[in-house]
A = this chain, B = another copy of it.
Amino acid sequence: MGEAAFEDDLPVDSHALADVDPEFVGNLRQAIADRDGDAIRRMLAPLHAADIADVLEQLTAGQQEGVATLAPDVFTGEVLAEIEPDTREVVMAYLDPSHLAAAIQELDSDDATEVVEELDPETRAAVLAEISEIDRQAVEQSLAFEDETAGRLMQREFVAAPEFWSVGHALDHMRASDDLPDKFHDLFVIDTGFRPVGEIPVCRLLSARRDVALSDLMEPPRILVDPETDQEEVAYLFQKYHLVSAPVVDSAGRLTGMLTLDDIVHVIQDENKEDMLALAGVNEAGLADTVVRSVRSRAPWLLVNLATAVLASGVIALFEGAISQVVALAVLMPIVASMGGNAGTQSLAVAVRSIAERDLTAANAMRVIWRELATGAVNGLIFAVVMGAVTILWFQDVALASVIAIAMVLNLACAGLSGILVPLGLVRAGADPAVASSVFVTTVTDVVGFLAFLGLATLVLL
């Protein structure tokens, strides 16, 4: 370390490789093509597991398979835990069960579960048969909880001490213990029924005198997590209360596991990604996806969009007569629809984000609905003036300009309103406010846009 570490803009330890170097990846590809296991090992072994994962994800599935067959020992437990599920699926098919069992046994139960859950039933049984009884039970119990719940996310390894112990007692116990979790940030204090009654940040334990009672040092647990709780809910509470870890309790209130902030960070990222992609109409996406998978994740929403676009066209078809008399209507009508779609998407993104952050609640929904309507209407007025002026300059037609101006106000007000009401309605219906909401909103803005503009034109101009 020292001076040498400062060569780059962001000084990182020489073993780390923050951004993947294309040349490095090129050399690795060559080593795989040469079927040179030693070279692969020499290149990857010195790297941090997270960097190995980043490099592997740059490879094609065939190249990943090459690494797994030529240099299987690259895949330690940590590397398996770091790589994306898709990559993991590919490489695990080429690693033998005893290797997998040894790798999994290195991991805390949450990471072990994540790795095991993707094995096919046969390999899973073979792997589980080779790991220790205690680890196997931990993994099987975690798998019994549904995906995306606290139970699936928690680790079974935690540190707990009875409330009548002193700091010194707890420290001596920890020093004597040989199976502490890799990392822990809080000591959980439990009563005689193994129920958590307090927690003590590890740093506070360090600075306390040995004769202090744990019960004098502890604070009541900020949250007790039910293992059935959705991970998004837990992530919200971690953020809100700035938690670094939290106890998970069973139905009898007994401490059964621990959640840590670094797992929660991944939940936060996943949920954000889901929301953003859902708003754009993509079901799920990984960068390693093939064309077939990309098509499969996007075509359904395009189909829904096609249906709503045809619906909007049906509205236009009602006014074929008007359009054939005043072709300028065909030229201008997409502007009204496009502005509505944009304003609706803006309003929707703000609403979805506010719902995700729990800022939008029953207590303030009315105020926000009103604000979105007013914002839409004000923007509508602004762009009514602008577009009215453009229309007069372009077509020298004041009546046409008035029509587009009025349609703009109506459509932008509807856009603001539907941008907030659609996600609120989805939440009330128990659905995810991000999924499908933009299709609903743009349907409203297309239909209202065409109807208002062409309808008014028919009344005023013909």
Contacts and interface: CB of A to CB of B under 8 A. Distances in A.
A197 B20 contact: no
B237 A277 contact: no
Given A1-B220, A20-B363, A382-B295, A290 B175 contact: no
Interface residues of A, number: 152
A310 interface: yes
Contacts of A363: 20-22, 25-26, 58
A244 B338 contact: no
Nearest to A233: B10
Contacts of A295: 375, 378-379, 382
A78 to B, nearest CB: 10
A126 interface: no
A33 interface: no
A422 to B, nearest CB: 14
Nearest to A196: B1
Interface stretch (A97-105, A114-122, A139-147, A179-187): A179-187
A306 interface: yes
Interface string A259-284: 00110111011001101110111100
Given A310-B335, A327-B324, A277 B349 contact: yes
Contacts of A324: 324, 327
A111 to B, nearest CB: 10
Most chain B CB inside 10 Å of its own CB: which residue of A185, A203, A226: A203
A346 B57 contact: no
A330 B316 contact: yes
